[in-house]
Structures are given as structure tokens and as C-alpha cells.
Structure 1
């Protein structure tokens, strides 16, 4: 994050970078891709021991949210995970922990938060359907009243890390028996009867996506998170957190790809000179550095706005998502071209960075979707 970091935050940045370079470098992603492996839970538990999820969990339930800089610290961590194209479930698990800590009952918080904070429980967020507006608003799952409980039907699309999840945070629109209005949320075990997963082929080789189908899933009242029909404001806060974390990760992905591309341009010789000395290539990377700085500034502002609950937080996160998503992909595509033929090979790491950038651009709302959202927020 390109913000004024405190001494504690600089320490967090340094320790996170060292930890990831030691325990989950890009070579770990290559091993996952080559062997088609799922989540390494031992590594994820080590990540949780660093306090990544505990940032959003109260001290009484195994965290330290009262003394942490929540969203700001998490954005620093997310950027560092981007630099190594980390494959763990940071975003959905943090969002679930945040939602339960903020809106859960005492029983839900006591039962679920310690496991999330310790890395023993992995969560996924089922937010929206598989349509054009996937990732920014609910609509894929319908919740209908059934006595004191609920019945869920529908499909949540492109659910990140669903295949590895123990717990699902489900956002559903109210069905006809609920007067057809409002949004409700539920926290349920991933193995609940009636839930099936349809894995999707993902461009990003370190991130598993799936459509999660709900076929008459019956839930008791104890599965409800917060008040029925009144979760819209909470969902918006969760979305803001998700967008900050993803945008920060994209900045880290882009920053590292541009960094090692510049190193390559200083070493690669052509016509007796490093290719980085040619003016046309200098102009290209200068443009990339300028756009990347803009993305860093947008993400830094969004992280602070969400952390402080600023009035413009919804606008800030969509600007950050749009800026980081669009330019991350464009910059890394050109970085690949600047590597020449070696950039096209499986053996070079740059394709992992490009895959993550392209995937991030599409997930949680593509830039055009956020442009439309910005127009709505502006009253246009």
C-alpha cells in the first residue's frame, strides 16, 4: 500500500513479505498448477497464525480487532500476497469473519470465529448469481420462509475457494413468502444437504472457482446472520472490504511483474545495448509506472475510506477496483511482450501474474460493471 505507514505497519509489511517468500513463493503456485492440488491447509494455518484473519475478530474470540488497523492492515497483507500470486483463501475468509463479528449472534461468534481466526475453518462467500452483475449484488439465491426457518434455492456463481470451504456465508434475496423484499444472510456448513458444487475451469491456476447450487436447502433460525430482510447495508460493507482486498492484491501482482520486467530490460541485450535503454521501451514502461501509481493511490484511498466508514467509501472502492483491474491487466500483458519469446513459455513465471490479473479484473465485478455502479451512486 502506497500510504503513510506506521512503524507497526512497516513491520507487518516486511514480516509478511519474508513469510510469503519463505513459505509460499511463486514456486509453490507452480507445484499446485503442475499437480492440480487444492488448498495447502498447513500453510493456511501458518498464515492465520500471522494474524491475517484475526484482524477482523474480537479478542474474546481469538482475534485482536480492537487494537488492529483492520482494513488498512489487511490491504497491506493482500498486496504482499499479490507479489507471490498467493493461492490461499484470504479474501473470502476475512469477509466471512468480518460479517460474523459484526452481525452474528453471540452463539454464532463463539462457535465460528475462533476457527476462522486460527485457520482451522475456511470460508467462502456466496454473493450473487452467475450473470453479468456477478460479484457486486445478490440475486442468485432465494430465501423463503419455512415456519421458524428458511429454505434456500438458486445458484451462486463464481464462488471463490468454494471447493476448499468448510463454511459458507450465503447472501440471499427474500422470496415470495417474505413479501419479496430485502436481503438476508446465512452462515452454514458447506456440507449441508442440498448444496452441490459445479467447478469452473479457471484461468488463474492458483484459485478455484465454482458455482454453488442450493436445492431446497432447509435451515433453522440459528443459521440466520443478523435480522431477516435487513442485511443490505451489511452486504455493502462486506463488498467494500472484498474490493479493497482484491484491488490491493492486484496492485501487488502488477507491481512485482513490472519490477522483474524492468530488471529483465536492464539485462537483455540487443544491438549491443540493454533493451531498457531504447527510448520507445522507456516510454512504454513510464506509462505503466504512471498508471500503476494511480492504482496505488486509488487503493490506498479506498482502504482508508472503508476503514474509517467514510461517506464516499462505496465510490472509492469501485474506483479502486476499476483502476487496478483495467491497468493491472494491460500493464502485465505488455510486460509479457517486453520479455519477448521467453515470456510466452510455461517455464517463466509471468503468465501466473497475468492469469491472476485477468481473473481479478473479472471477479467481483468487471470494470464496466463498476462504472455503471459509480453512475448509480452519483445519481446518474
Structure 2
């Protein structure tokens, strides 16, 4: 099997995770890195034993790269991903896909026009307890899902926001907890319950008045299936508590996954504190499986490099999809749905009203005003 030539654009903390994954994957030949500022690519490349460049054109010309991970700050994703697609590169875009629906559509259209494959990173879908819930839904063990909830209650101190100049700003980050921490749980909710019909939401700065962006947001929503949902996400709990997604079925059964527990994972800074586990499982006849599932998942967690393992699983699927000419398990369109969801929460507060889906694409991304 010929290896695909892989590369990274964006030489920060998340870019380092992608670089390490590409070096480890058997179907990948990691060939280079591109910095978003002059000289960054060369320094990063030296760290990983590959050449570094200041542009994607240089990367492609000198290495023949075929695949690139886009790991630049969120508002720059579209510019970099569109350029990469036009150069014929398959694109793995870190979450969120972009900071606006307009930018999401630009990425998707560029990939389609160039005939390249794209994925949005959402590695928590590859957690075993998260997949167990999806399998139960597909097998009809809950009947029709009728209620879904997200509770992500974490903590970020001001040292975190000072770590990089783009953090905590509309221009640099595109949003706060909704854009940076919550997309994983929002993606799982959409994966389990499908398309949203309408939503009402609020956001605020409860514990970080120095920031431009929100540290807390809530929403209530109705899905096209008729199911209801609610979302509570926050970076204002000290110490951090947990990230949880739960699904309740028509037959009364309930299932849940704790995606995060204890100190929240910060890419390139900290490890994952606790194993992801199913924290709720009341499917009739399976109630006694919960303890076994938790034991299995904790044992598996101890066996893997948790910081890289789940990214590796998604990137491996992405490379396989390119070779096999199929869609990856997580598509660019999946990433757009998550952006549409958090955009609806921002707009609901701005417009003081109920948001109906699909949202209209506005000329500019949300900037906190209004």
C-alpha cells in the first residue's frame, strides 16, 4: 500500500498533535509543515524532522504533499483550507470547521470543485462509549430518541486565555466556549438526534469579564424528528466538573457518555484526566452492563496514548477514505452542522428570538455586537 504524503498547516499546539499522528500512522509519510507566520514552519519542521515552509505552494512544490491538516486559528480555517483544496490537497480541518457559515460553505464548495476529500476533526466520536450509544440508537434499543442533553461544565483561567494572543477574542477565536470547547459535545448531540428544527439560546460572560467572548451558553431546541434537547456549556466552574451527553428514548431507556471528567484537556498543554465512559445505561435487559462497560473503557484508556490515539483513529479513517474513494466517517458537512448550531445560539440572543433552521448565511461572521 502506497503511503499518502501528509503535512500540517499551523505550527501550534494542535498542529503538533496532528504531526505526531501522521508520523505514527502506517499509511502516512509525513513530509512537511507550513507556518502561518514567517519562520514558524522551519522551526516546527526541525522539531519533527521534516522541512518547513511559509506557504502551501512551497510545500506542494518541494514535497508533493497530498494531504494537509489545517490547524490554524479558527477564523483562518477557510482561507487556508480553500487554498489547500485548490492546490489539490485533501483537507482535514480542525474543529470547528470555521467561525462562520459563510466560511464553512467556502471550504465545502472548494473541496467539491477540486474533487478532494475533506473531514472535520471531532475525535470524541471515536470514543468507545460514544460509539456504543450510536450503535444502541441504530439498533432501536431506545425506540425513537425523544430527548438529548449536553452538559459541559469546565474551567479556563486567565492564564489559559493569555497563552495565545488570539484566545478570547471574536477576531482571533470566533467565539468562546461554544466555538472552542463545546463543538465535541454538540457534534455528538447532532450525531445522535439528527437535524435541528428550531432553537432559543443565551450566552454571557459569567466568570471572565475581561474577555470579549462568552464563557457560558445555554439553549433549548427541537429536532426535526420531534425530539427535544437542551445545551448547557460553560468554562466558569472551578474546579472543572465534566462533559456529558445523554440520550433518552421513547421506550424510557436512557444512555449517556461522560466525554470529559475532572480537569479539562488542553491540547498541547495537559493530558486527558479521566477515561471517557458510559455514565448512564438503562436499556431494558442491559442495566447490569454499565459496570462492565466502564471497566472495559477505563482499561482501554490506560492502554493507549489518549492525547493522540483518538486523533489517530479519525485521521486513519480519513486516509482510508481517500484511498477507497469514499466519504470519511466525519464529513465537512458534519462540521458545518455544528457551526450552524452554535451560530444559532449567538444569533438567538442577538435577535432576541427563536431561530429556525436552516439558518440564512450572513455576509459576516458573528462578532459579539448587537
Q: Is the pair's TM-score, using the shorter chain for normalization, greater than 0.5? A: no
TM-score (norm 2): 0.25
- From the CA coordinates, give the structure whose radius of gyration is larger: 1
Query: Which one has more relative contact order, counting CA pairs under 8 Å at least 6 apart?
Result: 2
Q: Which has the higher helix share?
A: 1
Q: TM-score, normalised by structure 1?
A: 0.24
